[in-house]
Amino acid sequence: MKPGAYPYPPDEFDAAARSGGPRGVHRAPRSRWSRWWPFLVVLVVFPALAYWGATFLADWQGLGGDEDPDAAPTSSVDPSAEAEEGEGEGEDEPETEPSASPTPEEPPAPPADTTRPVDVYNATNRSGLAANAGGRLEAVGFTDVSALNWDGEDPATSIVYYGVAADVTTAQLVGSTLGIAQVVLSTEQAPEGIVVVLAADYTPA
Domain boundaries, the chain: 118-198
The confidence score (pLDDT) of residue 125 equals 92
65-111 pLDDT, tens digit each = 555 555 555 555 565 655 555 555 555 566 666 666 677 777 777 89
The confidence score (pLDDT) of residue 183 equals 96
| Neighbouring-strand partners of residue 145 | 118
First to last CA, the chain: 188
147-192 pLDDT, tens digit each = 999 998 889 999 999 999 999 999 999 999 999 999 999 999 999 9
Contacts of residue 155, defined as CB under 8 A and 6 or more positions apart, other chains included, come to 123, 197, 199
Whole-angstrom distance, CA of residue 194 vs CA of residue 183: 10
| Topology given in CATH for the domain delimited by 118-198 | Alpha-Beta Plaits (3.30.70)
